[in-house]
Chains A and B, each alone.
Chain A
């Protein structure tokens, strides 16, 4: 256990060292961005559960741990093979937050599409980076965003020019490796999809080996006028990993963005999704699935800002929690004064598979306009015994029947992803995960099943 002062001292040492050698340390604008962010982090420190936005999630385990900034490292192709995905337009590989070109597959990209490691791009093309980096992410509100910005150096850089349509997904793979000391990484991604362009970007977080690691990632995604963008965030690290991720989406006029978050791994996970519908007529889908067992803590925090009229947003999150897992859904919708004709909807559905699993679900609407439609709803239930018996009475064994029912529940989330290799990849991951989850326990063990009436709580409100 270390004190708050010692804790900041650890980060200060890392930061001082980092500012001397990091890519772009000689660029005044970038130095300033990092200095300001670090100062802000020191000012606010890590959040506590007294903070309304962190009521259900304690990050004291992260705060207590003296993490060391991860250095560069490479891997053998053999270790990587299991993570290669078919059908991607390109695959950028990051080992402990650092871009590794030798392991990446970047070829035959159409004209108008540029992908790179952010550090390399800062060195070779800092003007383009400067016009977006740090302009959207709110370092004032959130300590982790401030910390990420202070250490912002490497991550995925994606730029799709006006009118370019890329069907195949751009795949960013983040691998954390085993280490004898706890490592921290702060991947920073910058995704700019210009006017009338179309692209899909997948961020996939995995680990090799099992050692304590802290991944604090942030992505700024800019969707230009009339652009169509799909973004996937996949968390499947081991259960000793801390993963804090923030996706800040900036949507211009009539842009259409879908964000899909799938949380399967990680011990303590917080996924922030923060779209700002800045231009008229924008559409935003925030789709999520979280499945936890053991002592996993999976926190989904949404902040949807309607800043312009005639925009629509849809939040759909499904959670499945087993053992002692704890899930959080915090969906906040802010409708600014001029954002008339806003149409915002939020739904969170949860399945609890054990008596000790827990879900905290919290809607929060702040509406400053007077002509809007906002709805929210949440349900908590368990596997229906009737459905289970129905499947079993047709010859399907209990383990398979449970898996089928869970898959059906998870499919609601898959159905909202448009057909693509990214979706196929996610579907396969969920299948494999549920197979392990349902096979992990012997049959007839104490499980919560039953007619859902007394345990099911529902709320549905209109505002």
Chain B
């Protein structure tokens, strides 16, 4: 059984049709990249998968592990193993990073009938993940994302993913705004989490990230539809020709 099956998904935001019939199947162990120009619906797709309620689903179906994902609340989807690395991670003053992560981990453990992890057990496990993302432990006593640099925020997202160990991770433009060093660290973190049980959807605007996280499949999303799918070589072609040519190829403009 595939992990994720999106069938003819249609989504509307503020009376605008954003997604106009998306079809996508993701199996465990696969890494899919979704590329596309600004406003093509990439982030909307990512947010719908993470169950943000502000988006109105007007048609289609999403099966996750055989269950209807659209019936799940955000927290239930998270507990079932869906993880979204935010394009713009949210700053939450007053909640400590480590405390937040342990609360999240324990919420998920509780959902699965496991014992909660206390601070003593959590710490060594957590330190190991910090090391993977080359993050300073001091950041963890600060409030969630507060005063973090752009790169620190993105690394913090991957750190959360490493701690929560999802089945399906969606990375929404995790590479945007990163310098090459930060990008390499993020990619290393992501690659270390690749496993035969875990699938990833890497949403990106730029081909650069895919040099470091090599996907199994690349899909091009334009104007709410996947217009082309292929292997990693498609990303290079995009880099070369740009999205316009792809779109033009699909809908030739009259001369």
On A, residues with C-beta under 8 Å from B are: 384-387, 389-398, 400-401, 404-405, 407-409, 411-412
Q: A395-B75, A396-B103 are in contact. Are A408 and B50 (CB under 8 A)?
A: no
Enumerate chain A residues within 8 angstroms of B79, measured Cβ to Cβ. Answer: 395
Nearest CB on B from A449, distance (A): 10
Known A392-B73, A392-B74; further 17 A-B contacts with Cβ < 8 A: A387-B90, A389-B90, A390-B90, A390-B92, A391-B100, A393-B83, A394-B160, A395-B108, A395-B111, A396-B103, A396-B107, A397-B75, A398-B73, A398-B75, A400-B103, A404-B103, A411-B94
**Contact of B183 with A by CB under 8 A:** no
Q: List 20 A-B contacts (CB under 8 A).
A: A389-B52, A390-B86, A390-B92, A391-B104, A392-B78, A393-B78, A393-B84, A394-B100, A394-B104, A394-B107, A395-B105, A395-B164, A396-B107, A397-B75, A400-B107, A404-B103, A405-B92, A407-B94, A408-B94, A412-B94
Q: What separation, in Å, do the CA atoms of A158 and B195 have in the docked complex?
A: 67
Give min CB distance, B58 to chain A, whole Å.
21
What is the bound-complex CA distance between A180 and B77, given in angstroms? 54
Which parts of B42-68 form the interface with A (CB within 8 Å)?
50-52, 54
Q: Which residues of B contact A405 (CB under 8 A)?
A: 92, 95
Q: Which 10 A-B pairs have the closest CB atoms?
A: A408-B94, A394-B104, A395-B78, A392-B74, A390-B90, A395-B107, A395-B108, A392-B75, A411-B94, A408-B95
Distance of A438 from chain B, by nearest CB (Å): 14
Interface of chain A, helix or strand or loop or mixed?
Answer: helix
In the complex, B93 has a CB within 8 A of chain A = yes
List B contacts of A401 (CB < 8 A): 75
Interface residues of B in 160-175 (CB under 8 A from A): 160, 164
For the complex formed, measure the closest distance between the CB of B65 and the CB atoms of chain A, giving whole angstroms.
16
Cα distance A401–B77 when bound, in Å? 15
How many whole Å from A317's CB to the nearest CB in chain B? 16
For residue A409, which residues in chain B have a CB less than 8 angstroms away from its CB? Answer: 94
CB distance from B114 to the nearest CB of A (A): 12
Do B93 and A408 touch across chains, with their CB atoms under 8 A apart? yes
Instruction: Give, as a whole number of angstroms, the nearest-CB distance from B52 to chain A.
Output: 6
Task: Flag if A387 contacts B94 (CB, 8 Å).
Answer: no
Taking CB atoms and an 8 Å cut-off, the chain B residues in 77-102 that contact chain A are: 77-79, 83-84, 86, 89-90, 92-95, 100
Q: Is the CB of A393 within 8 A of B94?
A: no
- CB-CB under 8 A from B89, the residues of chain A are 390
A56 → chain B, closest Cβ, in Å?
A: 28
Chain A nearest CB from B172 CB (Å) reads 11
Which chain B residue has the least Cβ–Cβ distance from A410? B94
Contacts of A391 in B (CB 8 A): 92, 100, 104
Instruction: State A340–B78 Cα separation when bound (angstroms).
Output: 58
B90 touches A386 (CB 8 A): yes
Complex CA gap A401/B103 in Å reads 10
Residue from the list A394, A398, A408 in contact with B164, Cβ < 8 A:
A394
Cα separation A391 to B73 with both chains bound (whole Å): 12
Nearest CB of chain A from residue B237's CB, rounded to whole Å: 33
The residues of A that contact B95 with a CB separation of less than 8 Å are 404-405, 407-408
Contact of A387 among B92, B103, B107 (CB under 8 A): B92
Specify which chain A residues have a CB less than 8 angstroms from the CB of B92 in the assembled complex: 387, 390-391, 405, 408
A104 to chain B, nearest CB (A): 37
User: Which A residues touch B104, using CB under 8 A?
Assistant: 391, 394-396
- Rounded to whole angstroms, the CA-CA distance of A303 and B6 in the bound complex is 62
Bound-complex Cα distance A178 to B78 (A): 48
Q: How far is the CA of A411 from the CA of B108 in the complex (A)?
A: 25
Per the bound structure, the CA–CA distance linking A412 and B77 in Å amounts to 32
* Residues of chain A within 8 A of B108, CB atoms compared: 395
